[in-house]
Amino acid sequence: MPRGRKKYTLDEQYDLLISQLEETERTMKDLKKKKKDLEAQRKKHQLSELNEMIAKTGMSIEEVKDLIQSKG
């Protein structure tokens, strides 16, 4: 038969809260690092795709830059 919920003292509640905050901060730090790594990978992939497209068209980088600047 399940027991009832434990009643925590104020000090125990405070300590639990501090532990949860620290764990959440660690998780946030890890997630932000993963986000930064994924953004770098995405950028590298996008640049690779762009380079492939340029190579397929036979255009030079200068021609592509001029084309982009003329559109802007």
Ranges of the chain whose pLDDT falls below 50: none
Task: Tell me what pLDDT residue 2 has.
Answer: 65
- 40 within some domain: yes
- Overall number of domains in the chain: 1
- 4 within some domain: no
- 1 within some domain: no
Residue 20 CA from chain centroid, whole number: 22
- 51 within some domain: yes
- 3 within some domain: no
Q: Which residue has the tokens 């038969």?
A: 1
Task: Tell me what pLDDT residue 6 has.
Answer: 82
**61 CB-near residues (< 8 Å, 6+ apart):** 54
14 is in which domain, residue-wise? 10-71
Task: Tell me what pLDDT residue 5 has.
Answer: 74
- 5 within some domain: no
CA separation for the pair 56, 50 (Å, rounded): 10
Model pTM?
0.69
CA separation for the pair 68, 57 (Å, rounded): 15
Task: Tell me what pLDDT residue 1 has.
Answer: 57
